[in-house]
Structure 1
Amino acid sequence: MKDRMSRALVPVISRLPSLARLRDLIPHGQPHPHPAELRLHRPRDYDLVKRETRLRNRAQVERHLPEILGRALARIWIDPGFRDRFAADPVGTLAYYDVFLPDSIEIDFVTEGTTRPQVVVYERTIRAMPRKRLLYLQLVLTAAR
């Protein structure tokens, strides 16, 4: 079966659900559910991951987190509400979108001194020790003719 989500950084549903499938969600003769309840049955636009993701160690963070943060940066560029939420609490925002990180991982969202936002990922194995930078991401825009 063909995947309904595009593979872009900010995935978009490639085709809308048919009316017949939407009618199946609401049983005949029953009151219409709240729109929030309908959202539970279909994929959400702009999700960072398709299913719950738990990164357990540094190797998994280095392998999988750049792609997830790339999607987050793309969404930050187009969604001011997400940008404000991510700036206030990056790790908490990722957890809200089903991406769970180890306790030793810290994320900084840097906007000062740059025209484009940066996300810097640090590891601190012991709280008293200085943190070590693992990676950083910045959105790069290119123009083409």
Structure 2
Amino acid sequence: MKELLWLLLLILYGIYKFYKSRRPLTKFDHFYERAFELEEKKRYGDALDIRNHGIELHTLTDLERADLHLANGRMLLKLKQYEESTKHYDASFKLAKYEEFPYSEGFDEVIEAYLYAGRKEDALIITNDMLKRQSYDQNLRSSSL
């Protein structure tokens, strides 16, 4: 009887995993998680395609689409595709232009991508934008003093 129960649970788990892998992507979390899983499997092109599909959907907020661009930029930076990386960072900043998001150490990587892509002026502009955030970002203000 126990073996039959375990077999039933295993079959149900298999059905769940199959359905989960085939479900349509409609929400930000779906795109983000699926792309992350693909990236972990080193299927970078597929991860990029999944995020780009999410970016095209207007059901996501600008901030969510900006986050997908940011994730693409980080992945491309790891792959040393600096110019492509900065294109996604540009799109991310444009979408989140009026959002007040706090400074993160991840922005150091963004600056690095712009420098490697030969876009020093843009790196300075982004750095200055981060310095302007000192007015409301307690972490940046205290770390720069």
TM-score using structure 1 length:
0.31
Q: Which has the higher contact order (CA 8 A, sep 6+)?
A: 1
Q: Which has the larger radius of gyration?
A: 2
Structure (1/2) with the larger helix percentage:
2
